[in-house]
Each structure stands twice: as structure tokens, then as C-alpha cells.
Structure 1
Amino acid sequence: MTKKILIMEKAIELFSKNGVESTSIQDITNACGISKGAFYLSFKSKDDLLVEITNYFIKKIIAKQNEILNDSIPKENKITLFFFHSFKLLEDHYSFISMCMRENFQPMNNEVIKKIKELNSILDQSLLTIIQQTFGEKAEHFKYDLLLVVRGLLISYTEFITTRPQKYNLEHLANSLAEKVNIIVEYSNLHFVTEQMWNLIGSSNFDELISKEHILSLLEPLDGHYKENPLIDESIQLLIDEMKKENPRLAILTGLVSNLQKYEEFSLIVFLIKQYAANIQTVSIE
């Protein structure tokens, strides 16, 4: 375990127990058995630590979304897996997540706020893709309503679980919620949220996230950092070269990103490049 990961894990433990505001850097270094100087070699400040913890959870969440979006997953299992992995994350990090909900934690760090907004945009797009993969044309006219239904179920049951702590059968919970979603799809005739209404808030932000400029801003700092793993190192270099072209090639992007997708630390980059590639394909078809 690296020192940076040790600090993050101990910080999460302390934040879970005492809250973010009440936990000092000294508390964290004492728990780690390191000096403050050692802390500042890894993180510039507690705010910087919070940004990295946010990244830690974002990568975990998106890694699971990437698994669900994979074509090898049967479409009838995707919604169930979405619920299961969401509640499994809650179970694995119950103390920290319940603390955030209990204290209605509102981060003041602008970088954390920005990353949380980006994550929400990514999760909405991921869930839309899962809905489209699962139900196809059957849910096309009310996919945004369905997205809000799924998200509402997730939030409501998360609140239920965090206020009634015990061991839950997550498979049964996921199957139960997926059944409810399937019933809605089967019998819904009316919809409220239109694509135009949805895009008033969400589309431009996500378009920025899957832009060549943003993807390159994530890739370029990684160039040369993985020389101990030539496959990763060369894949990153080639992805940078390809993304700098006026018209990046779909087959090249797809092949290169497949070399990174099994590593959780690249989950965000993998998701964004796949979405970028999907847009290229859609435009070329049109």
C-alpha cells in the first residue's frame, strides 16, 4: 500500500467517524503514524485530499458503470446490476456515505463541487445508455422520465438503508427494484420530460466532458508515467496522438481503450472515450 492510499483510507475512516470538518490533518497523520511533512509530500492540503477522495469514489463508480455498459452483459441484467453495484458501494463504504447524508455534507472546495457535478452528468448519461441498451425503442419516448424514476428509486432506498442500518440482501433489493422499472416500461403510455427540457440543464455539460480537449487534458498528464507497464504506456501515448488528429479513427480508439478498461484508475477516461467514439459512430451513420 502506497503512502498516498494509506492517507486516503485513514482519512475516510476518520471522516466517517468524526465528520470532515472535525477531522484535522494532525488527526489523519496520527492515525497513519506519519509526520505532517510526509502528509504534505502527498497532498497540498485537506482540500486537496478531499479532491483525491472524490476521485477515488468516482473511479470506483464509473468502473462499475463500464462493466454494465459492456456488450457482453445480457440486456435483461443491466438495470438489476446497476442497482446491485450502487447499493454494494453503499454497503462497502456505509459509514462514510451515511455520514455525508446524515450531516448533509456540502463541500466548499470548488474542485470537489465541480467533480461531483461532472460525476452526476456522467452517471445520467450512463444510465440513459443502460436504459437504451435494455429497453430500446420501447422506452425511447419516455427515457428521461424513466431515468428520473430509476434515480429516484436509488436515492429513496439509499436513504431508507442509511437510516435503518442492518445487513440487507442486495440481490433481492436489486431484483425488486428492477421489477418495478420493468413494470413501468411495460405499462407506461404518457411521458412528461422531453429531450428539449432535459437538455436545458444536462447536455452542454456532458458535451464538454466528451470533447477532444477535455479528454486530452486527462490523458496528457499520464504520458510517461507508466513506463513499468509498456502496454499502458504505449496505449496512452497512441491515444494522445490519435485524439490530436482532426478526425480520430473509431477502430483505433476502441482498440487502444480496451487495453486500459480493466484498470479502475482509468475508468473515467475509458468511459469518456467510449462515449466520444459512440458520437463519432452516430454522426457517421447520419
Structure 2
Amino acid sequence: MQDKKKLILEAAIRCFARKGFNATSIQEIVDELGMAKGSIYFYFKSKDDLLVSVIDYYGEMLYLEMREHPGETILPPREKFAIQLERQYRFVHQHLDFMKMLLKEPFTGLHPQIQQMIIRLRARSQLWNASHLMAIYGETATLYLADACALVSGMWSQYFEALLFGELVFDGRQLSRFITRRLDDLVNGMLRSEETPLLPPLDLVKLRCLAGVTEEDLTEELRLLAAIKSRIVSCEFSEVLRRDLNEALALLKEMIEMPSAGHRLLARGMLALLKQNGPSDLAETIDRLDGLIGSMEA
């Protein structure tokens, strides 16, 4: 994002948080910046257009908090979920005034892009929940994936509302661990009960489309890694071997996303582990990935 456009968005965020969208004028935003009024109209056609960009900007920042950070790839799935949930809570708490303004302000007749943004954010949230649930509970939870996503989303939203409207401030670490333990209770309870799920299976392809995530967004290395991971998930392994394979996949993902000198030898070791212990039909895919990782450091 261009530096000046980013400055305008951040100034608008501060003004909207203080006075609300409808009560804030473009003049007040330029006064906040100390620039000419015409400068804003070079980047934004109207105040509505500015708000659309502000919400999109906030959504992208929140999405970054939901993504895996460097060093988290090798953490156990349950711990990874709790850490990322804690970051989401911290983000909301840091931007509390603006979040309240978004929920309370009447945006009747506003730009229709807002609706599309909300759809995209909801789809991203569902994908985030689904990927963590599958990582934590494995294929055995597939039948209840949609219900489990709905339940964890419902838990989080209630604490979110308590923070926004009840002015209850929680310890982020304590809250994230509490929700993670309750998630265990819910999912394990459904698995023991063997009840028929209430919600239909999640359409992950449709969710990715709504979230704006496409195959084209992935490098070939990440596509190959995803194919290997998908195949590994469907195989029977001992608990220790499955953990080792998952750690190998996580380390390879981190190396692909942040290549640096010295990773080549470690990558070869991880690939050898996958090739030796994975199904034979993965050998060609692993060799292809090996070649691509090698070329990254050539």
C-alpha cells in the first residue's frame, strides 16, 4: 500500500473511532493529517469509499493475526490454535473503540462492497476454524466439522460481545486456553455420542472462493506440500510417527515461505523422512518438491 494512502486510512480510523463515521467530516480527517483536502480525493472518491477501504484495511490486519507466524509451524496444533486465538483477542482489544463504532454505527444505504467484505471475513474465519479443528482432531472429526466450527465461533462471539458491550476485560492467554479446553469438551463429546450432525458438511472449495483464496495464490512448492499433507492425513501411522511427519511438513512450509541459506540440508532430511515413511505413491511428488526447494537456494 502506498505510504500516503496508508496514512489517510490510519487518520480516518482515529477520527471514526473518536466521533463515529457519520459525525466525522472529510475536513476533520485532513486536519488530523495536516494535508490539503484534495489529497484525500486523489485516493478516495468519497467518505463512503474511504470507509470501505478502512474496513478492508482492518480486515487484512485481523487476517494477518489469524495466520501462522514464523516459529509457530512446529508447535502442536492445539497450542497453535490457542496462540492465534489469543492474538485475535489482543487485536480486538487494541482497537476496541473502532470495533464498537463499526457495530453501533447505522450504515444504511452504504456502499454494497461492505456486504462483500463481511462475507469474505466470515469465510476466512470459517476456514481458519476448520483448518485448526482438522489439525487438532484429525480425520475422526470430519463428520462433525461444520457443527464444531459453529460451536467454537459461537463461544468466541459471546466473549467478544462481553468485551465490546459488557466492558469485561479478559486475560487473553487465559481466555484462549479456556476456549481451547471447552472445544475439547465439545468435540470429544460429539465423537463419543455418535449423534447425527445437525449441519451439512462444509463446502471448503466454496469457502475458499468466498474468502478470496484460490489455488493461484499458492506457489507450486506450497501446492505440492498441500498434496503431500492431504495424502499423509489419510494414512494410518503410530502417534509418534504422525507427529514426526507433521513436524516435517510444518518445517518445510516455513522454509518455503521464508527461504534462507543453510536450510537445504535440513529440508533434505525432512523430505527423506516423508519419502521413507509415507505412502509409495508420494515419491514422485516429494522428488518434485525436493527439486524446487533446491532451485530456491541455487
Q: Give the TM-score normalised by structure 2.
A: 0.66
Q: What is the distance in 2 between the residues matched to 1:172 and 1:72?
A: 22
Which of 112, 115, 137 matches 1:113? 115
Q: Cα distance, 1:133 vs. partner? A: 0.6
Q: Cα distance, 1:257 vs. partner? A: 6.9
**Which runs of no fewer than 5 residues in structure 2 stay unpaired?**
226-252, 260-281, 286-298
Contact 1:83 1:154 in 2 (8 A): no
Q: What is the distance in 1 between the residues matched to 2:89 and 2:57?
A: 17
Which of 86, 89, 109 matches 2:88? 86
Tell me the matched-pair count: 228
Contact 2:78 2:180 in 1 (8 A): no
Q: What is the distance in 2 between the residues matched to 1:151 and 1:100?
A: 19
What is residue 48 of structure 2 aligned with on the other side?
A: 47
Letter in 2 for 1:250: L
Q: What is the distance in 2 between the residues matched to 1:249 and 1:67?
A: 17
Q: What is the distance in 1 between the residues matched to 2:126 and 2:118?
A: 12
Q: What is the distance in 1 between the residues matched to 2:208 and 2:223?
A: 21
Structure 2 matches for 1:24-43, cutoff 5 A? Answer: 24-43=25-44
Name the SS of the counterpart of 1:67 in structure 2: coil
- Taking a change above 3 Å as real, the CA distance of residues 142 and 105 of structure 1, as seen in their structure-2 partners, is farther
- Larger mean CA deviation between 45-54 and 147-156 belongs to 45-54
What is residue 136 of structure 2 aligned with on the other side?
A: 134
Q: Cα distance, 1:105 vs. partner? A: 4.9
- Taking a change above 3 Å as real, the CA distance of residues 50 and 167 of structure 1, as seen in their structure-2 partners, is same
What is residue 75 of structure 1 aligned with on the other side?
A: 77
Q: What is the distance in 2 between the residues matched to 1:9 and 1:95?
A: 14
Q: Cα distance, 1:104 vs. partner? A: 5.9
- Taking a change above 3 Å as real, the CA distance of residues 107 and 146 of structure 1, as seen in their structure-2 partners, is farther
- Taking a change above 3 Å as real, the CA distance of residues 120 and 81 of structure 1, as seen in their structure-2 partners, is same
What is residue 198 of structure 2 aligned with on the other side?
A: 192
Name the SS of the counterpart of 2:102 in structure 1: helix
Q: What is the distance in 1 between the residues matched to 2:161 and 2:110?
A: 23
Say yes or no: does 1:250 pair with 2:224. Answer: yes
Contact 1:121 1:205 in 2 (8 A): yes
What is residue 230 of structure 1 aligned with on the other side?
A: none
Segments of 4+ moved more than 6 angstroms:
254-257
Task: List per-residue Cα deviations over 1:161-195 (Å, max 9, x = no partner).
Answer: 11132543111111111111111122222221121
What is residue 149 of structure 1 aligned with on the other side?
A: 151
Task: List per-residue Cα deviations over 1:35-81 (Å, max 9, x = no partner).
Answer: 11121233232233223212222222222222179632321213322
Percent of residue pairs bearing the same amino acid type = 23
